[in-house]
Amino acid sequence: MSDDNNRTLMFLGAALRGTLAGLALALMFAAGFLVRDLVGAPTVRAQDEYPVLNEVVGLLSQHYVRPLPDAKALEYGAIRGMIGVLNDPHTFFIDPPVAQNESDALAGEYGGIGVELQRDSVGDYVLYPYPDGPAIAAGIEDGDRLLAVDGASITPDMPHDAVQRLLRGDVGKRISVTVQHRDGATETFEIELALIEVPSVLWSTVTEEPSFGYIRLLRFTSRTPEELEQALTELIEEQEVVALILDVRHNSGGLLQEAIDVASQFLDGGVVLYEEKRDTDREPKEASGGGLALDTPMVVLVDGASASAAELVAGALQDRGRAILIGQKTYGKGSVQWIFKLSDGSSLHVTVSEWFTPSGAMLDGMGLTPDIEMIHATDFDAELGEAIRYLLAQVGVPQ
């Protein structure tokens, strides 16, 4: 791998920094294919269907030696216990604050000051502002240590989600943020929250071979199809690249329809996946056709953290002979979850169907095997280098 290509990777890494907070959420919710904002509430069972549960609550209330947790905590515990009997890691319950963070991540936008929140080696919270966001405009700098929000001290024992929520809210709201700069100086900023759009797609040409385009899909959100269309327009129509590298490494999934829309940019119709629900036959889901990159030579980079929607796209392109996969075997997540928003702001993920690749292969627990399987290297991006070499041969460029 040349120094030029290493510089390409450094550039992409810098661009990725502003998306790491969203990726952290993605990893937390690696449930895979999701369908958001469902209409209608789940059927409520009669209370007398759980007589033993009610009996236990009564006995605990009367006899337990220490004060009981509040009713909400007991209720949430009972819900989690009930779900645990299903033995399905992808059907789970989420508390209200975390549910809102998940909703923000899937929407790809939220009200905030526009920073990545990280911990340093001693556990303190450190800020890295997004380009063009309110935080950087106010004067917050990379590496500033977060001391307080609205006068409330920030301490290492505070959960990441709790601190993150302090820096988010309704667009137009003003908050005070106190930081310590790298030089030790302390400063307080009054910052107005704005709409922060977290990108799900990053793209550039490859420095080592400018005729190749590189597209990284970070997460499948509601904004992903539009962002991908913009990327393909710039790379293919404006910069006239002759080949594409699609990178879905460390992409844990997201929204189902958006994944089908992404595949449709590379497949001229035909089956993207088969979906099987309870008591129904497998139903084909097809590409819409008319994509911007139907014939452009391409490869897909995958790894062990490529899951669900990322596997859907990669599996469809591999099965249909549209692209080869380079990297490591994927995670193996092939089910669809619906998200039910509950009355108190919490949410319930419920597995409602499973999916299969166009060839009928089951992915759940299996994963995708790359056409070119590689051991991950730490000194440089071996998969990207192999993709460049493969495409050079495909398009007839001397190596």
Catalytic residue selected from 264, 308, 347, 353: 308
For the chain, how far is it from start to end, CA to CA, in angstroms? 13
Give 297's contacts (C-beta < 8 A, 6+ positions apart): 242, 243, 244, 391, 394, 395
Q: Token match 């990669």: residue?
A: 314
335 is catalytic: no
Give 86's contacts (C-beta < 8 A, 6+ positions apart): none
Please give the helix or strand (H or E) that residue 275 lies within, else none.
Answer: strand 271-277
Catalytic residue selected from 204, 319, 346, 353: 319
Asked if residues 252 and 305 have their Cβ atoms less than 8 Å apart, the reply is yes
> How many helical (H) and strand (E) elements, i.e. helices and strands, does the chain have?
11, 20
333 is catalytic: yes
How many Å apart are CA 204 and CA 254, to the nearest integer? 23
- Beta strand 324-327 pairing with 271-277: unpaired
Tokens of residue 33, six digits: 């294919």
> Angle at which helices 224-232 and 256-264 pack, to 10 degrees?
20
319 is catalytic: yes
How many Å apart are CA 50 and CA 78, to the nearest integer? 11
Catalytic residue selected from 333, 346, 353, 381: 333
Would you say how long the chain is, in residues?
A: 399
* Catalytically active residues, by annotation: 308, 319, 333
